[in-house]
A and B are shown apart, each in its own frame.
Chain A
Amino acid sequence: MPPDMAPDAAVEARTPPAAAEAKGRRPVPFRGGTFRPRAIPFAAPLVFLVLIGLWELGSRSGLISPIALPAPSEAIAAMGDLIETGMLWRHLEASLSRLVMGWTIGTVAGIVLGLAIGLFSLARAGLSPVVSALFPIPKIALLPLFIIWFGIGEGSKVATIVFGTFFPTVIATYGGVDSVDRTLIRMGQSFALSPLSIVRKIILPGALPAILSGARISASIAIILLVAAEMIGAEYGIGAYILLAGSLFALDQLIAGVAMLSIIGLTVAWLIGRAERALLDWRT
């Protein structure tokens, strides 16, 4: 501003009086408060407790008919019966052994094929369309076939889980292999590492985050298929228990069985979370 011009006159000339009044000193408006996830550890248990409490309250007050839905306390009593008679362990043992065996075989085979597709052009060209064609088939629909191929006993049940977990693992694994940084592989080549070393020390660890998040999905699929498979010709197992409870309309037992599945699901998710933290401690 030229020094000879009166400053007040200049300001007045440019700004209307109302606006000049609103120009008081104030903090810059804060806009960074949204979209900031943070850990709230007590929220999940609290939500569970409130929901179950409301449900119990509704049942006690007669708002929820016992024919439609038994009270949580009844389901807990049914669970107590199971523990007392020792049947819980029988059912759990049968289910968990199928789950562990099926999921392990499916995952190991899936990782092997996924690596093959990720590493070899021929395997990719030949097999990835086959995987895409077979992945969307609901494995439950194939259960009668599995019974003919693997027998009505354990074989068909484990096979259902194996097939169900195999395909998502294949896809997760070769996706993981594809996402490994090419310069790391080139580095391995330039230091004359053997192909086996490059796979073991560079490609596998690089694909591991994707493989583990595939494992989360395949574990949930395994639990769903477990119940479906146990609904045919199983004496013991949580699926068999739920089916029996359902056909007798013993809804308290049905709820108890379903709760057990949830607990298995939560445990598996927790275990995979632990595995992720142990194996991927190099990430932030």
Chain B
Amino acid sequence: MRLSVEGVGHAYGGTTVLDGIDLAIAPGEIVAVVGPSGCGKSTLLRLIGGLERPTVGGVFIEGDAPAGSLNPITTVFQDFALLPWRTAAGNVALALEDHRLTRAERDEIVADVLARTKLTDFAGAWPRQLSGGMKQRVAIARALAVRPAVMLMDEPLSALDAQTRELLLDDLRDLWVRERFSAVYVTHNLAEAVQLGHRVMVLSRRPGRIREVVEIDVPLPDRPARAAELEPMQRQLWQMMRDEAMAADRELTDAA
């Protein structure tokens, strides 16, 4: 299944937040989207995820979703979006309850994704008992449970501290090596972008337009070892973003 974003623009009231975005996501590809704050990164994800309708252009799916995919386009939220009144396992099960599955099938999927995200020991824990990193693991497990074809990740590591972020970044990379999911990975952290993205799309400040798309041709599993090669790319991206970020920082915000 391919996902393509064609000529998408979006405005809230009179404020244009996105303009002329074209993007195609191939199966198994991670596209990192970076840009200064308020450039419409999160809006882009909501448009792709069908939570909002673009003002112009459209988002299209080509081809069938892989067999067994329950929710082909699935979002991982920045602030985890776990139900505080459900345990880790209950939160994962929530995503499955509206699908026609027997109890046994459901329990099996829940146990399986919890094992894949190393959460088996925490199945019965309440979200309030879990650290930020564990919460985000639960949210990732929940996303995996519906076997998405494309994962939309909205700054999934931004609410975590630096060390946890490194750990989870490694986990995400391992996960990709095993599952080969495709993803749109929105972040403001350039290190994450060059560690996880096959391509990095740089957006300008509001209205968000594509400034540049940078290919990163180091295979994902090799990236921790070849950090020295990634360094210049990260610096190049920062050069590109620096002025935009500075200008964005000085803007007054009206739109969310």
Contact = CB atoms under 8 A, between A and B. Distances in A.
Contacts of B94: 188, 191, 193, 201
Given A282-B126, A283-B128, A284-B128, A191 B95 contact: yes
Interface stretch (A2-10, A35-43, A74-82, A179-187): A179-187
B74 interface: yes
A118 B226 CA distance: 54
Contacts of B74: 190-191
Nearest to B139: A187
B81 A184 contact: yes
Main secondary structure of the interface of B (DSSP, over half): loop
Contacts of B50: 190
A191 B97 CA distance: 10
The CB with the most chain A CB atoms within 10 A, among B50, B81, B86, is that of B81
A34 interface: no
B83 A202 contact: yes
Contacts of B83: 184, 201-202, 205
A183 B139 CA distance: 13
Given A191-B71, A191-B74, A186 B81 contact: yes
Interface string A189-222: 1111110010001100110000000000000000
Interface in B1-54: 49-51
Nearest to B96: A191
Contacts of B95: 191
How many of chain B's residues touch chain A, expressed as a range?
20 to 34
Nearest to B78: A183
B146 interface: yes
A149 to B, nearest CB: 41
Given A205-B85, A282-B128, A284-B128, A192 B77 contact: no
Contacts of B126: 282
Among A187, A194, A197, A283, chain B packs the most CB atoms within 10 A around the CB of A187
A184 B95 CA distance: 12
Contacts of A282: 84-86, 126-128
Interface string A159-197: 000000000000000000000010110111111111001
B237 to A, nearest CB: 28
Interface of B: 49-51, 71, 74-75, 77, 79, 81, 83-86, 94-95, 97-98, 126-128, 142, 146
29 contacts: A181-B81, A183-B77, A183-B81, A186-B51, A186-B81, A187-B75, A187-B77, A190-B75, A191-B71, A191-B74, A191-B94, A191-B95, A191-B98, A191-B142, A191-B146, A192-B71, A192-B98, A194-B98, A197-B98, A201-B97, A205-B83, A205-B85, A206-B85, A282-B84, A282-B85, A282-B86, A282-B127, A282-B128, A283-B128
